[in-house]
A and B are shown apart, each in its own frame.
Chain A
């Protein structure tokens, strides 16, 4: 079995199985816990539902924090958008998703894929640079660095494979798939789960504050 066959076959399959099971386990294992009851009378009888706004409104820092969070926000947005576009936008990825789900959509031209991949990698470097430069602000743990590496690897290998640079394409492709498999398998057990938690976390706080008539 060649590296590529291993990557495209058992490796990615096992990683997806771990990811599916892990995400379900962690989401259900937390969300099925007891619900606390706040018996106090809400400020506005029907105002609590307004708290759900926070899920969306927190997508951008409020004016109060615009200046202090500008670097982190802008770079993080660049990273997330570029990564999302690359993950969902280039032909090989769409082909992979189609083979799993049957869904497909038009792809971005390759030069855009390369540009976005480069942007994603550059923004990730910008983020780790700041994390390293300001240890007091970030309080980084080993997990933060491991996560960074695991996120950076598929971007780097993908970019190299996509642009046909470096080792032979099938090796690069295999490394890309393997690093993605690592990311998939790692995802449910790391802070990358924030991809799901952010909705619940924001909504909870939004509701708790809306209960008191405060919009956050």
Chain B
């Protein structure tokens, strides 16, 4: 289901700078939006009996519940504070979207199966039914981007997002994953790809970039200091993302590679809640990075890929010979080290911290360091960094048709925040956020510009032999070698 055929068959243009090789992000969004509609028909149908699906959901929760989850489930006092933090509740004011309710079903299962009071609860409570899980789908997928903002206000500090994540695991076992995520999960599980991306598509894109933009991408090198990931969005739609990455890496003169045996940042195991797929997707990437002897693994601008790899609790990060970092982190470190030199950015700009890399990832300073390198007039939104409002499209919600209203309504909070900051443009560093911003921008005829950090950096590189067209690559190679 490639949606990027048009880009790969684009006529070769010798003058890349004049004619865009790849469609604009506006077009990318429109093309992708059409594709997403088709996902619903491709969703797999349940294969197990209702009893097995229910048992699987319950067993999954039993398996995933540790003392931490139990304490959080025990702690809620229904004080209602979380409603202040949740963009979906704030956008709708509907009781059912109160974050505290997103753990109600989990708590019931916990009380019946794990709690020290379970024998008592079994006397007074009705057993959980498959329908209960089906009914909870709206709370677990459509109205929770696992952004963790409610944890910031909860007097008990309950990590509702992680509880919702366990519920998503249960939903996988119950075969109740929303059709869009279910389709992508099945694709990734069975074919290892999403949106029809593949090593072949990667090779094609690398070719296209070399031929048309004159930018070399060292694909499948045996040894490299830095291994860079891409993502399906780059491969099948937004070639500019990979192009920008390549420009920057080459500009910095870094010994880097992109591996066709481990390039996909997107992880629909994490998004749908399938822990085994999560691991299945992460393992080859880790193996590839080890194989090439990388010291750094750079994760593409794909928000959930950060927790999927960097914060993967199943991967013993401390024992790996390389560091994992997000694109914005990598760029920020380069900027802080004085290696990244950029032309000035005009106008007021604000930075939107993706939930997965910000509040739930901790990469706050680095993207700002990059903007500082451009002498950008950075203004912060009223709620920023740890308190940043989710754009409303995270954790796969951008893909869910059923969540359209929630997504659109909650985006208005984001628009208000950006407007209040006084910025003329917003920089994001997450494909999901960017797609959702683009969607909101178009639907609301919003006058703000939305930039991707990596593409912005590529556009502001101070001209250097490394980024010159292919004819000058020889010289670029020499320059690269001369760099420390």
Interfacial residues, chain A to chain B (CB-CB below 8 A): 25-26, 28-41, 43, 54, 58, 61-62, 64-65, 68-69, 72, 76, 131, 134-141, 144, 189, 191, 193-194, 197-198, 200-206, 208-209, 211-216
Contact = CB atoms under 8 A, between A and B. Distances in A.
Nearest to A203: B157
Contact of A62 (B71, B152, B361): B152
A128 B311 CA distance: 41
A25 B317 CA distance: 36
Contacts of A35: 66-68
Contacts of B159: 204-205, 208
27 contacts: A25-B116, A30-B67, A30-B70, A33-B67, A36-B67, A36-B69, A38-B311, A39-B315, A40-B312, A54-B157, A58-B155, A136-B89, A139-B98, A140-B78, A194-B77, A197-B156, A198-B156, A200-B71, A200-B75, A201-B157, A205-B151, A205-B158, A209-B151, A209-B360, A211-B311, A212-B361, A216-B157
B424 to A, nearest CB: 24
Interface stretch (B20-28, B80-88, B269-277): B80-88
Interface residues of B, number: 58
B80 A137 contact: yes
A71 to B, nearest CB: 11
B155 to A, nearest CB: 6
Q: Is the interface of B mostly helix, strand, loop or mixed?
A: loop
B386 A216 contact: yes
Nearest to B160: A205
B430 interface: no
Contacts of A215: 386
B484 interface: no
Contacts of B153: 61-62, 64-65, 68-69
Given A58-B156, A64-B383, A194-B77, 13 more contacts: A29-B115, A30-B74, A31-B67, A39-B312, A58-B157, A72-B80, A136-B94, A138-B79, A144-B78, A194-B156, A198-B155, A209-B359, A209-B360
Given A30-B115, A136-B94, A216-B152, A64 B362 contact: no
Contacts of B84: 65, 68-69
Contacts of B330: none
A37 B68 CA distance: 11
Contacts of B359: 209, 214
Contacts of B152: 62, 64-65, 216
A121 B80 CA distance: 20
B412 interface: no
Interface in B250-275: none
A201 B72 contact: yes
B114 interface: yes
Nearest to B64: A36
A211 B361 CA distance: 9
- Count chain A CB atoms within 10 A of each CB in B79, B100, B387 and give the residue with the most: B79
A170 B72 CA distance: 42
B310 interface: yes
Contact of B151 (A61, A189, A216): A216
B116 A29 contact: yes
B74 A197 contact: yes
B362 A43 contact: yes
Nearest to A198: B156
B422 interface: no
Interface string B89-127: 100011100101100000000000011110000000000
B156 A40 contact: no
Interface string B289-326: 00000000000000000000011111111101000000
Nearest to A202: B157
Contact of A213 (B100, B115, B362): B362
Nearest to A63: B387
A34 B67 CA distance: 6
A137 B72 contact: no
Contacts of A200: 71, 75
Interface string B356-368: 0011111000000
Nearest to A214: B362
B421 interface: no
Nearest to B70: A30
- Count chain B CB atoms within 10 A of each CB in A68, A141, A216 and give the residue with the most: A216
B305 to A, nearest CB: 14
Contacts of B154: 58
Contacts of A33: 65-67, 70, 114
A76 B66 CA distance: 30
A204 B360 contact: no
B76 interface: yes
A28 B116 contact: yes
Contact of A191 (B76, B93, B313): B76
Nearest to B83: A137
Nearest to B153: A65
B404 interface: no
B223 interface: no
Contacts of A214: 358-362, 386
Contacts of A193: 74
A64 to B, nearest CB: 4
A76 B94 CA distance: 24
Contacts of B313: 36-40
Contacts of A216: 151-152, 157, 386
A64 B362 CA distance: 18
